[in-house]
Structure 1
Amino acid sequence: MKELTKAEEQVMQILWDIEKGFVKEILVKMEDPRPAYNTVSTIVRILEKKGFVGYTAYGKSHQYYPLITQETYSREYLDTFVGNYFGGSFSKLVSFFAKEKNLSVNDMDELMKHVKNDMGNDKPSEK
């Protein structure tokens, strides 16, 4: 999967939020200073070429919608990030994060509880 630029990701975040929309609707959701209409239109067309966005044509207007879920993109982006910067090791990522953010033992304990809960949704807890 191709990585999104910051501008492309901003448009995708809006489309994931509104589920479908015309360029004008995407533009309204952007923070000030808003880019020009043509800029957003160009970004959406690039996203379409990259396979992130589809559209329904209404005459000359197009209503755009995401072809990939936010969860799928996040997962694949994280896998690429961990592979590129941490040699594919999630434990190295967590270790780096813990050191950089000065996490306490209690913070790490809470983090582990969340991980176990997320993983435990598929399997019974082993206690």
Structure 2
Amino acid sequence: MEKQLTKAEEQFMQVLWELEEASVQDIIDQLSKPKPAYNTVSTIIRILETKNFVGHKAKGRGYIYFPLVKKTDYSNQSLNKLVDGYFGGSFKSMVSFFVNKNDVDLNELETILDAINDKKQKK
């Protein structure tokens, strides 16, 4: 999976990841106002199918759509692309950037370090 999603595609995938399966109308119902037109959502869902992010099954006269890509897999790929593209592949540089630019709270930093240490111990 190397494909990136547009903002709209990612928004619809977030809904599908949450619902696990949905019709076009179900997706529209989950979106905030102003809601996109039915045809717009349908078109983007078909694009997601061609990118192999979404599959479908027939239900009555319509389709029920479901994610083919796990949210964690997409998140990992997106994070790796961010780290590679903006921080020269260095996770340390990314963390340093966020600590310096976003005034990360010491408790948050300790929580992050604890999570990293837990992961190291489980390996």
Q: What TM-score do you get using the length of structure 2 for normalisation?
A: 0.91
Which structure 2 residue ranges, 5 or more long, are not aligned?
none
Sequence identity, in percent?
44
After TM superposition, the structure 1 = structure 2 runs for residues 88-103 of structure 1, keeping only pairs within 5 Å, are 88-103=89-104
In 2 relative to 1, CA 39–91 (structure 1 residues): closer, same or farther, beyond 3 Å? same
- Aligned match of 1:114: 115
- Aligned match of 1:38: 39
In 2 relative to 1, CA 65–107 (structure 1 residues): closer, same or farther, beyond 3 Å? closer
After TM superposition, the structure 1 = structure 2 runs for residues 62-77 of structure 1, keeping only pairs within 5 Å, are 62-77=63-78
- Aligned match of 1:22: 23
Alpha carbon RMSD of aligned pairs, Å? 1.5
Which structure 1 residue ranges, 5 or more long, are not aligned?
none
Distance 1:98 1:85 in 2: 15
- Regions of 4+ moved over 4 Å: none
Q: What TM-score do you get using the length of structure 1 for normalisation?
A: 0.88
Q: Which amino acid aligns with 2:43?
A: T
For these two proteins, the number of residue pairs brought into alignment is: 122
Q: Which amino acid aligns with 1:91?
A: K
Q: Which amino acid aligns with 1:49?
A: T
